[in-house]
């Protein structure tokens, strides 16, 4: 009889660690929530969220320290060539890892284009006491996402056509409510302070390893991203229960 395969055995070091971490946290969360008071699902400051904010704050502080330190040593050395070149390289690294705010799409559906869908999302937003959706777009993914993009942080709802087409009317309302609830559930990874750091680390890994930008946990340099994910992971999963 053939032994059942374990998918995690096929993964490399960091991806296997991330998969095992996710499985352990899922089991631990199930045990925590079983028979507990539903009020514990409400948004609150958790240890994971606190560490995610501290981690992101250190990321910003280190970046600022490198910037000011670089300028100081360049000026103090009277613009010595070697130190100036090193300083330029460091500044380029900081520029690459700068916070990303995202770019709002130039084309999206407005209230005038799909008033009935916006009427539903506006009602849900009022129920959750959050800002109404600023724009809606569609793509070919079997998924749906809600995010804040650009400066100022405008809300964008992206609906996957394949997913949308297989749902009935009540399921579509449930999907919209689930996505908009991300704006009210306190998910640290979706907040400006943490999200910009998370996106910057993803960009850094993609630049260092362009042939395989999706397999972030394959590379030792992704450990910063992995630990930020770990801090925010428990909080994000807990809030998925709240959304449901």
Q: What is the pLDDT of residues 47-78, one digit of tens each?
A: 767 777 888 888 888 888 888 988 888 888 88
Q: What is the pLDDT of residues 121-142, one digit of tens each?
A: 999 999 888 889 999 999 999 9
Q: Hey, which residues does 155 pair with through a beta bridge? A: 148
Residue 235: is its pLDDT beyond 80?
Answer: no
Most confidently predicted of 2-11, 159-168, 233-242: 159-168
CA dist 153 to 39, 99, 102, Å?
29, 14, 9
Other Cβ atoms closer than 10 A to 123:
14
Q: What is the pLDDT of residues 161-181, one digit of tens each?
A: 999 999 999 999 999 988 888
List, in order, residues 6 or more apart from 80 with CB less than 8 Å away.
74
Most confidently predicted of 2-11, 88-97, 180-189: 88-97
pTM of the model: 0.64
Confidence of residue 243 (pLDDT cuts 50, 70, 90): low
| CATH number listed for the domain at residues 115-184 | 3.30.2010.10
Confidence of residue 213 (pLDDT cuts 50, 70, 90): very low
**Residue 197: which of 237, 227, 155 has the closest Cα?**
227
Residue 35 DSSP symbol = T
Which sequence spans correspond to the domains of the chain?
Answer: 47-98+189-243, 115-184
Three-state DSSP state, 177: helix
Question: Could you tell me what percent of the chain has a pLDDT over 70?
Answer: 65
Residue 4: is its pLDDT beyond 50?
Answer: no
Which residue pairs, CB below 8 angstroms and at least 24 apart, start in 120-127? 120/173, 120/176, 121/157, 121/176, 121/180, 124/173, 124/176, 124/177, 124/180, 125/180, 125/183
What pLDDT does 156 receive? 93
Q: What value does the CA radius of gyration of the chain take, rounded to a whole number of Å?
A: 22
CA dist 112 to 107, 116, 117, 158, 182, Å?
13, 9, 10, 17, 25
């Amino acid at each position: 009889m053939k032994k059942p395969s374990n998918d995690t055995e096929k993964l490399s070091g960091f991806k296997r660690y991330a998969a095992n971490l996710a499985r352990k946290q899922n089991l631990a969360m199930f045990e925590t929530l079983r028979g507990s008071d539903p009020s514990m699902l409400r948004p609150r400051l958790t240890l994971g969220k606190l560490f995610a904010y501290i981690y992101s704050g250190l990321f910003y502080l280190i970046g600022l320290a490198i910037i000011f330190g670089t300028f100081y040593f360049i000026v103090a050395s009277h613009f010595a060539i070697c130190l100036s070149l090193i300083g330029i390289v460091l500044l380029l690294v900081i520029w690459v890892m700068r916070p990303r705010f995202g770019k709002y799409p130039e084309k999206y559906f407005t209230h005038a284009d799909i008033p009935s869908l916006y009427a539903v999302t506006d009602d849900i937003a009022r129920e959750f006491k959050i800002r109404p959706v600023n724009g809606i777009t569609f793509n070919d993914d079997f998924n749906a996402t809600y995010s804040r993009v650009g400066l100022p942080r405008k809300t964008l709802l992206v609906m996957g056509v394949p997913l949308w087409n297989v749902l009935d009317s009540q399921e579509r309302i449930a999907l919209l409510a689930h996505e908009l609830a991300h704006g009210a559930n306190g998910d640290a990874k979706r907040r400006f302070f943490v999200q910009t750091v998370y996106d910057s680390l993803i960009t850094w890994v993609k630049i260092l390893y362009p042939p395989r930008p999706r397999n972030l946990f394959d590379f030792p340099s992704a450990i910063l991203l992995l630990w930020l994910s770990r801090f925010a992971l428990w909080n994000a999963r807990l809030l998925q229960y709240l959304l449901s």
